[in-house]
């Protein structure tokens, strides 16, 4: 729906580089991205009863996306989930995502691993939600990819994309690991990656280094994610990546 501001600026937009046709294309793209992110959010959830209740609706929404790689990737997983026994899909989900360093859905793990910094990183993600007026009602931690995707789809698209770009190295590493594992879940992550802008020059090197070293680690437990890292810790004392 067009706002008054949109209508008042239409004449100027036509004389601009994109014009109203460009604005319409941008609106359609934003809708496609939101549908993709919402569908991926649901599909990356644990396959419980609610998941299977929502699956037909998600499949219909995906089928209405424009023909292309994003729709094909999501449809591939929807077809897989709808033809797989519930118990089998549950067991596969646990095998793929639980306690796998390079296949976790908790995005701060890729950047901060088992370090004190991770508690601070979780608090930063929660702060982004709060500044956008978004209340997380999921049982998952705020850095869970499904939670971030729902925020990007239904909360604040720009801030949500910012979080996805912030965690892009982890997203790329996860995609590699999922493809290596041979799981259909890789196709969901592929669809999410295709919604993001082109990678910048240094992104590939960051992913390569993360793949070689793995997330950083310390022999400490995870502090409450609302607590900042201790100020008394000397620089460089966070433990080396491995």
Number of domains, the chain: 1
In a domain, 205, yes or no: yes
Query: How crowded is the C-beta side of 19, counted as CA atoms within 13 Å?
Result: 3
Tell me, what's the pLDDT at 137?
79
The CATH number given to whatever domain includes residue 57 is 1.10.3480
In a domain, 69, yes or no: yes
Q: Which domain holds residue 134?
A: 20-84+94-213
Predicted TM-score of the model (pTM): 0.77
Tell me, what's the pLDDT at 198?
85
Q: Give 10-residue mean pLDDT values along the chain (242 residues).
A: 41 51 84 97 97 98 97 98 96 86 88 79 95 88 96 97 94 93 97 90 60 53 43 39 34
Tell me, what's the pLDDT at 88?
97
Q: Which helix (H) or strand (E) holds 57?
A: helix 49-63
In a domain, 3, yes or no: no
**Contact criterion met (CB below 8 Å) for 195 and 36:** yes
Tell me, what's the pLDDT at 115?
66
Distant-in-sequence, close-in-space partners of 143: CB < 8 Å, separation ≥ 6 = 106, 107, 108, 109, 121, 122, 125, 167
In a domain, 129, yes or no: yes
Work out whether the CA dihedral 176, 88, 113, 225 comes out positive or negative. positive
The token pair at 196 is 């993001």
**Contact criterion met (CB below 8 Å) for 34 and 62:** no
Tell me, what's the pLDDT at 22?
73
At 197-227, the pLDDT tens digits run 987 665 566 556 655 555 655 444 444 444 4
Distant-in-sequence, close-in-space partners of 65: CB < 8 Å, separation ≥ 6 = 32, 35, 36, 71, 74
Angle (CA) 162-105-239 rounded to 5° is 85
In a domain, 241, yes or no: no
In a domain, 136, yes or no: yes
Torsions phi, psi of 195, nearest 5? -85, -10
Tell me, what's the pLDDT at 136?
84
In a domain, 137, yes or no: yes
In a domain, 206, yes or no: yes
Q: How far is CA 68 from CA 177, 192, 204, in A?
A: 24, 13, 25
The token pair at 222 is 């995870």
In the three-class reduction of DSSP (H, G, I as helix; E, B as strand; rest coil), residue 26 is classed as helix
- Rounded distance between C-alpha atoms, residue 130 and residue 142, angstroms: 11
């Amino acid at each position: 729906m067009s706002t008054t501001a949109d209508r008042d600026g239409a004449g100027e937009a036509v004389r601009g580089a994109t014009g109203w046709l460009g604005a319409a294309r941008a609106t359609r793209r934003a809708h496609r991205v939101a549908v993709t992110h919402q569908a991926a959010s649901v599909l990356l959830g644990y396959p419980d009863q609610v998941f299977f209740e929502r699956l037909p609706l998600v499949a219909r929404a995906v089928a209405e996306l424009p023909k292309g790689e994003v729709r094909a990737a999501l449809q591939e997983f929807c077809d897989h989930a709808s033809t797989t026994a519930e118990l089998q899909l549950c067991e596969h989900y646990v095998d793929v995502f639980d306690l796998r360093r390079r296949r976790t859905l908790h995005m701060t793990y890729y950047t901060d691993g088992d370090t004190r910094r991770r508690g601070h990183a979780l608090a930063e993600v929660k702060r982004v939600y709060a500044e956008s007026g978004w209340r997380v009602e999921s049982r998952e931690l705020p850095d869970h990819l499904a939670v971030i995707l729902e925020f990007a789809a239904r909360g604040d698209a720009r801030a949500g994309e910012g979080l996805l770009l912030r965690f892009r190295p982890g997203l790329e590493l996860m995609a590699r690991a999922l493809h290596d594992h041979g799981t259909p879940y890789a196709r969901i992550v592929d669809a999410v990656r295709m919604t993001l802008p082109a990678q910048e020059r240094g992104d590939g090197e960051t992913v390569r280094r993360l793949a070689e070293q793995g997330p950083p680690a310390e022999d400490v437990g995870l502090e409450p994610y609302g607590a900042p890292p201790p100020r008394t810790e000397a620089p460089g004392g966070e433990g080396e990546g491995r």
